[in-house]
Each structure stands twice: as structure tokens, then as C-alpha cells.
Structure 1
Amino acid sequence: MKLINIYSVITLLSVLVFTSCSKFNDINTNPETPEKVNSAMIATRIILAMSNQPGQKSFMQPYLLTKQIAWSELAEGYQYNGFGTMDMSLTFLNDAHFMEEFAVNEEQKNAYKGLSHFARAFKLFELTMALGDIPYADALMGESNKLYFPKYDSQKDVFMGVLKELDQADVLFSKGAKFEGDPVFGGDPNKWRKLVNSFALNILVQLSGKTADADLNVIPRFAEILNNKPVFGANEDSFQLIRSDNSGQTYPFYKVSNSFVIYPMVSSEIIDRLKTNQDRRLFYFAKPSPVKIESGLKASDFNAYQGVDPSLAFSNLAAIKKSNDYSQLNFRYTELPEGEPTQIYGYSHFCFVVAEAAARGWVNQPAVDWYKKGIKASMEFMANHTPNEDRFHNGMPLDAAYVENAIMNYQTDFPANLEGKIEAIITQKYLASFLQTKTAPYFDYRRTGYPKWKINPASSMNTDALDKMPLRWRYPSLEYNYNSKNVNEAVQRQFDGQDDVNKKMWLLK
């Protein structure tokens, strides 16, 4: 018997294995899938994480909290002031530093670094507004510094840090070049500068109760940014996602595969205010009540619209639903796949921020002028993103002549005293935020008391303060499970050891 050469066998097996693996890789490699991550891919993911919103019922959740919508499916916690915990995840920022590392030149590196600073400031501002003290200096240091149990910074230090990062972002974008991977502004660093500075003004106005704090320097900082840095100047500058009739890009409440379109009832907090001012935005927000139409009213009649008090007990809402005497959402929110752009921070919102600052005397400009700009921007935004068909505006279009006349009427009614001005500005900011800007109106309400929402002790889920809305969310259980020392220290420092939704954070004291 001849012995087979072991080396020949090994060589043959090696060839077979290599050939098989090579064929396997060829068959299972998608030529349309990139093999390497680049700066643009990371940028797209980060920007969409900030600007995109979930669809269907999840899209509506913030607007139950801000009393714009009553929900007829079942009793929802947000509608009835029931707050839980807030997710503190920062995973979308974990690899942000790779954007600048992969950049092809110094100018692009500056732009991507500016984006990284803005995204970090944006998210940490959102978290501190919801919770109070949060990890800031130690945040996102797990990979680079092996800091897995971040300490909590005071809320004041978080605000100071966030404002500093926005300053850094502005400088970096000013030295940056157009970059790839941006679905919002097309990578234009000048447009990002406008957003960065306009967003800083939004943060500063949230510090209206802290103007005496020399470290924060709220009023001079606000004036410096508004007068000397690029800021929003039109609706086209808004931080928003423009929707389309493409898979994954449609309006979040579009009707296709959306079984929840039957549940929203437009709130009386919205409808009653618009009816009082004979404001045609009503005809874009809602449909007329079928009962009112059957009684002889026309869809173009303000009295044909019936809002629902979202503080009513759910059994009462169910009865109204059964009666059919209420206003549903306008067709423009369910029938148009592209709907309207979804805004996180829009130009009209910015105008009302400046109007409030002007009313408070922070800048030497007439508050009423910015107030008018905000209302006009809101109306033009709706008109420009709605087909001129009766079913989408019920025969009451926001045409140029109407808008100019409405603005003059609002100017005439603008209050003379400071508190009246603040209420008018915040109320108009609220109306302009219908199904936009997520929970921003709640933070204005918490800070100013406006708009004056109805709080019903009989239906409230805020069991420790039935006549009030909660002031914050609780820290998530993951923090207590994995970072207990630091979160407990923060709770003790702020709230005497009670992680309670009705406790006042530093911002509100």
C-alpha cells in the first residue's frame, strides 16, 4: 500500500478551503453595501437621530403631553399628566469622533467636529431639561477614558457646558467646508451656524429665571448672539425634515399601515384659541364636526369646529367619540404621504424666543415685531406645505391678503403690560407648534405657566399633586442598576433623596 503524502493532503485541503471561502464571500457580498464606514454615514445617522420622529401612535405621544390632542383609544399617561422615567441613552453619539478622523481635509474636519459638538449639546440639553442634574463632563467617556460610571454634574454646570459647546460649534462651522451625509441642510456650514446660534438663544430664554447669575451671563450673551452672529431668517432655515412619498420618508402619521388614524381628537386648547381670534389655521389643523355639518353649518364656519377638553375623564371622552360631535385631524395629516416637514426647532419658534427676550428688555427691539414675524412664519409655513384644495383648508386658505390682515389684528391686540405680552407670545408659540417641536411647549408651560392649560384633579395621574402637571421625569432604572452611587448622590443633592416627578430642579428654583 502506498502512503499518501500528508503535505499533499494539507495543500489540497487548503486550496479547497480557500476556494470555498472565496466563492462564499463572492456570493454573500452585496455590491451596493459599503464595506467601510465613512464620515458621511456617521453624520447621517447622528442628524436623523436628532431630527427624525417615530411614526403612528408614538408620533402623537408628545402632543398628548402638550394638550394638543385628546386620544380616544384608551387612557394615555401623558394626556393625564402621568410621567415615568426618561431614557438617558447616548448611543447615537458613541462614534461621533470618527467623523473628524475620517474627514478628507481640515475644513471638513472642522465641519464634522462642529456637528459633533452641536449634537452633544442638543442631546444633553434635552436630558437636563427633563431630569435635572445629569452626567456631562464624564458623558461618552467610556471608550476613550474607560469611564463607565459617570459622575453627575449640577444642572447649572450642564447649561454652562452646553452653551460653551455651541460657541465652539459656531467657530468650527465658520472654519468648515461643505460636508456630506447631511439630509437637512445639505452640508452647508453657514446654515448649521444659523441653527447653532438660534438654538443657543432658545437655551438662554429657558434661563429666564437665572438672569441674575453672573456666571451664566444670560442677557449680554443673548444680545451678543442676536446682534453679531448668523441666526435664522426664514422658514427655510428651520431644523426640520422634509418628507416625501418614498419608503421610510413619509409623514409620521400618514394613513398607510396606520391603524391609529381614528383615535386623535383635536383639543379645545387649540381649537378654542383659534376660534376666539378667527384664525384660519384652524381650518388646516382640523376637520369640522360631522354633527355640526349635519345641523347646517358649513366647513368654512368657525362654529363648525368642536374641540375636546383633553383633561376630561376617559369615560367622557368615549361618550364624545360615540356622539361624533368633535373635530378630527385635517386630511393633510393623514392623506398626504409627504405631509408637512416635521420641525424640531423652526423659524417661527425662534421668532417667539426673540419676542420674549425683547419683551423682557434683553434686546432693544420691539417685541411686537418679532411676535408678528412668528405668527406670519407659522401661517406661511402651513400655506406653503399644503395643496390648495378645499379638503385641506376647508375653503379658508391662508392666502397673502388674509395673512397680512390677521397679522395687523394680532398687532392691535398685543398687550401693553409685560405679563400680558409673555402670555400672548407663549400662546402663539404654542399654536405654531401644533404637531411640531415635540415637548417644547411643555417646557414653556412649566417655566411661565402659559398657555393656561386645564388640569383636572378628577382625571390626573399625578397622584401626589392632582391639580398640577409634573415638573420632571425620573431617572431610568438602568442608572440605579449600573451607576447607583452617582445617581443616588445626584438625587440626594437635588431632591433630598426622592426621585419624584414633582420635585423642583435648579432651573425652576
Structure 2
Amino acid sequence: MRKRYFAVALLALQLMGCSKFEEINTNPETPAQVRSSMIATRVILSIADQPGQKDFMRPYFLTKAITWGEMADQNYQFNALGTQTMSLIGLNDVQYMVDYAGTEKLKNAYQGLMHFARAYRFYELTMALGDIPYHDALVGESEQVYFPKYDTQKEVFLGILNELEQADEFFAAGDKFDGDPMFAGDLTKWRKLANSFELNVLLQLSKKVDDVDLKVKERFNAIFTGKPIFQSSADNFQLIRSDNSGQTYPFYKVGNNNLIYPIVSDEIIDRLKASKDRRLFYYAKPSPVKIAAGLSATNYDAYVGISPSLTYGDLSTVRSTNDYSKLGDRYTELPTGEPTQQYSYAHMCFVIAEAATRGWISESDVNWYKKGIEAAMSFVVENTTNTEAFHQGMPMDETYIANAVNEYGTKFPTTLEGKIEAIITQKFLASFLQGRITPYYDYRRTGYPKWKINPASSLNVDAPEKIPTRWMYPAIEFAKNSENVSEAIKRQYDGVDDPNQLMWILK
């Protein structure tokens, strides 16, 4: 009997100890189960956030907006692209975001986000490389496909367009969802983003406008006339910065050891000076040498851009003179800086202007061109403290913007090529430290803006007179998935993984 009582007491003690152990070893601040909202936050930030300091600036070396004065890591500035990783960041577990949703409408909302995120990431990857795994991608766990085949770029773009259309449909059938640092779960804004971004994707297919499967013009017109798209900069896909740790502007001065290196490129400054465009006074500071010589900071001639095409030796000589324009203080002195855009209303306006010029839609191209310029100028004003330090005493008020936009409109060219050059150039000027490498994609598709190329400084060894048209496949693909990547290179590039080859969308 004593043994029985002892055994019961021991069992009770063990159960109490186990219960106490679990209580002690449970962190009340750590969720016991992953929630859809947690995955959504990570997915959105993986797309929308941008790195800090030099990593933030690197894309703008490639787009010729910034001349970088440091010798190290200037491949983009000197036209060497190298290889591209094939990471699909944030997509590995997006399906769980849908699976963990509590209601059917929430499942729809998260499924819309899943399709948008997939479309965005696959777009980035195919734009960089050409053919990529699409149908076989991300199914290693579910379908045990460990060596994915490469889809043709046409198949990838068909998939991207389909997923963007699915995103719109699921968002339309969903409920406001949690975990959204961008639009606070507002599904109307997500629908606008999915559709507006699809317009951009379709424009990148301008050389394939007659493809009967893609139906580029038909899709573009259907979205423009029948679906919600961006209506103002309030719809921008952008992160609004704050002075909280980890949320400041990516090139804010605190802890930033790279402040001495960026120089505003002459590709930006010369174009703004030629049009007497006051964005110059927000983007850049005057040359100290010109100020010392008696020019005012309000004088356009006080601003000196430096060409990113200079050899490093020539660039070093110019830097030693101190006769150049550094970044405006709005980018370094304010922890909030300006919102960092991935895709904006201004960008969309220029997309629509180009589509109108090409005859895809029955709209006035010059009107959309003017809307894009106005939106770009207003964005700068609305996100800049109205003090002399941030605009050199040359602010852009409503009257200035209206007059400047009308002036650009009256000078809008009459020829097809002239119009496209004007539209792409204005999109480039609006993309100063925004949108990452988008202007590069426009350049390789259209040849605009007409950036200067210097064979003497070029690291594009096989074609120093050209800017490369693509990145090369990463070495790990040749080590782990050799048969499939080799077949894709043979199919596209005659077996040579070369940065100057033309991918399908550019032919």
C-alpha cells in the first residue's frame, strides 16, 4: 500500500514538475505559433525595404545618378555587372500565410499578397538573367524537385502577368488583413499596386507587342480602362521613414562612414540645369569652389556634376579640386529623409505616357507626361522641410511647379522617338535615389537616357563601348544544377553566359 501511495505521489510530483518546467521555460513575449500577419510583414518588408549606406547607393551607380568617389566597389559605375544570385527572398513559406488565415476572406487577402510577392520577385530575377526556373521553383519541399528546369522568359512573363491578375482578383475578394506596414491592410491600395505594377511589366514587353500569347496592348488597355490603378502619390509603394532605430533614411549621417563619396552625376545635374528645373537645388549642393568665386547658391551655374564615366584617375583629380556638387542635405541631415519608393504614381504616369505615345491606349501622351513631372516635383516638396538648407533658397511652390510643368509640356517633341526620349528622361530625373535600377531597364530597352560611355574607364571587357545588358548566372547553379542552367544558356545565348547577350524581351 505504501508503495502505491508513494508511486501516486511521485507521479503527481513529476506532473507538477513538468508543468512548472514548461511554465518557466515559456517566453511570454515569443508567440507559440506563427501567424499569417507575421509572415505578411516579413514578405512585404523583403520587397519594400532597402539596405543602408553604400548598399543603398549602389543601384544609382548603375543608373548614372551618382558618381562614387571611392576606388573600392565601383563595378556598376564602370559597367561591370558580374553574376546575380537566384535567391527568391521571402517566398519559401508564403503559402503558410494563406494556410494560417482564420477566414475565407482573409485567406483571399493573403493569397493576393502571395501572388503579388511571387510576381514581383520572379520579375526581378528574369529581368536580370533571362530564362529562370519558374514552374519548378520553390517546390523542393512539396514536390521534391531539387534540380529545377528553366522556363523560357516568355513562359516566365506569362506566369508573372497571370499572378498579378490573380493578385487583383484575390484582393478584391478579401478582407483587410494584419501585418501590413505598407498600406495597413487596405485591399483597394493593394489592388491599385498589383494593377499599376502590371502596367510597368507590360511596358517592359514593348518589343513583344505583337506576340499573340502575351496580348500586351490588350492587357494594358483592359487594366487602364477597367481596373483600379494609382491615382496620386498617396498610393505609392514606398516605406515612410522615421527617427526610430532601424527605420531611418538609408543614407542618414549617423553611423554613416560613406558621406564623403557620393557626387551628384552630371547626367542629373546637366539635364536639370538645361531646363532650369529647381529639383536641382533639392538634389544637390553647390560647388564650394563656385561659391568661393562669388556665385550664389541660387545660381544654376554654381552646380557642377561629375561624369561617372571618368577613369578613376581623372575622378580623383576632380575630387582634389573640390569643384563638384555633393548630395543635398535632405538626404543626410534628416533621420526621416524621404520615403523610399519601389514603384510610384509618378513612375506609372510616365509608363502610361509611353503607352499612349506607342498607340496602346487612346490618351494624351503629353498630359500623362505632365502629370508625371508634376507628381515627381510635388513628391520632393511634400517630403522636404521648407528651409533654405534643404532647397538653397530656391523652393518649388505650386506656382513654380505649374509653370515648370507647362513649360515642359510646350517643349514636348512631336516625333515618336523624340517623345519616348523625353518621357524616359523625365522618368530618370524623377528616379533620383528612388526605384533602384528601373532607369537601367529603360535604358537597355530604349537607349534612353543617352548616358555617356567611356571605353577608357569601362570594365565591360568584351564590349567597352557598351553598357552590359544582363547579369550572368551564379556559380552555384553550375555546381548544383548544371544540366538545366547549361541548357538554358544554350537556348538563349548560343551556349555563352555573356553579359552583353540580349535576352528574349530585348530582341
TM-score (structure 1 length as normaliser): 0.96
Q: Paired residue for 2:60, among 39, 60, 63? A: 63
1:303-353 Cα deviation digits (max 9, x unpaired):
110000000001111111111110000111011111100000011000000
Give per-residue Cα distances to partners, 1:192-229, cap 9 Å, x unaligned. 00000001100110111111111111111111110110
SS at match of 1:193: helix
CA distance in 2 between partners of 1:435 and 1:8 (Å)? 74
The corresponding residue for 2:356 is 358
Aligned residue for 1:125?
Answer: 123
Alignment CA distance shift 1:384-1:16 (3 Å): same
- Alpha-carbon distance in 2 for matches of 1:47, 1:66: 25
Aligned to 1:235: 233
Whether 1:49 and 2:49 are equivalent positions in the alignment is no
CA distance in 1, matches of 2:47, 2:313: 37
Residue 183 of structure 1: aligned partner: 181
- What residue number does 2:369 align with? 371
SS in 2 for 1:92: coil
**Given the alignment, which residue of 462, 465, 469 partners 2:463?**
465
How far 1:30 sits from its partner (Å)?
3.3
- Matching residue within 274, 297, 315 for 1:276: 274
1:33 corresponds in structure 2 to 30
SS at match of 1:70: strand
Q: Which has the higher mean CA deviation after the structures are superposed, 253-262 or 444-453?
A: 253-262
CA–CA separation in structure 2 for the residues paired with 1:178 and 1:371: 34
Counterpart code for 1:85: T
Superposed displacement of residue 16, structure 1: 7.3
Instruction: Indicate the residue corresponding to 1:437 in structure 2.
Output: 435
Partner of 1:100: 98
Q: Spell out the pairing of 1:414-493 with structure 2 (5 A cutoff).
A: 414-493=412-491
Match of 1:507 in 2: 505
Q: SS at 1:310's partner residue? A: coil
- Aligned with 1:169: secondary structure? helix
Please state whether the residue corresponding to 1:240 is helix, strand or coil. Answer: strand
The partner residue of 2:311 within 310, 313, 323 is: 313
Distance in 2 of aligned mates of 1:14 and 1:504: 74
**Contact 2:46/2:89, CA 8 A, preserved across alignment:** no
Measure the CA separation in 1 of the matches of 2:113 and 2:193: 11
* Mapping of residues 389-400 of structure 1, within 5 Å: 389-400=387-398
Gaps of 5+ in 2: none
Pick the aligned partner of 2:260 from 259, 262, 285.
262
Q: Give the AA of the match of 2:121.
A: K
Aligned to 2:291, which of 287, 293, 297? Answer: 293
TM-score by length of 2: 0.97
1:211-226 equivalent positions in 2, closer than 5 A: 211-226=209-224
Q: State which drifts further: 259-268 or 84-93.
A: 84-93
What amino acid does structure 1 have at the position aligned with 2:375? Answer: A
How big is the shift at 1:33?
2.2
Work out the CA distance in 1 between the residues paired with 2:156 and 2:410. Answer: 41
CA distance in 2, matches of 1:327, 1:300: 13
1:31 CA displacement: 2.1
Q: 2:324 aligns with which of 323, 326, 338?
A: 326
Q: 1:76-127, CA deviations, whole angstroms, 9 ceiling, x for partnerless residues?
A: 0000001111111124111100111111111111010010001000100111
Indicate how the Cα distance of structure 1 residues 228 and 12 shifts in structure 2: closer, same or farther if over 3 A, else same.
same
Q: Which residue, 365, 383, 389 being the options, matches 1:385?
A: 383
The alpha-carbon distance between structure 1 residues 162 and 303, as it changes in their structure 2 partners (threshold 3 A), is same
Change (3 A) 1:16 1:284: same
Q: Do the aligned residues in 1 keep the contact of 2:60 with 2:66 (CA within 8 Å)?
A: yes
Aligned partner of 2:419: which letter?
K
Change over 3 Å in CA distance of 1:23–1:78 after alignment to 2: farther
Q: Distance in 2 between matches of 1:409 and 1:349?
A: 20
Give the paired residue count.
505
Identity of aligned residues (%): 61
Secondary structure of the residue that 2:341 maps to in structure 1? strand
Residue 29 of structure 1: how far off its partner (Å): 3.9
Cα distance in 2 between the residues matched to 1:129 and 1:218: 17
Q: Which amino acid aligns with 2:35?
A: N
Matched, 1:401 2:399: yes
Q: Return the alpha-carbon distance in structure 2 between the equivalents of residues 476 and 14 of structure 1.
A: 59
RMSD: 1.8
- The CA distance in 1 between the partners of 2:68 and 2:186, in whole Å, is 40
**C-alpha displacement at 1:18, in angstroms?**
7.2
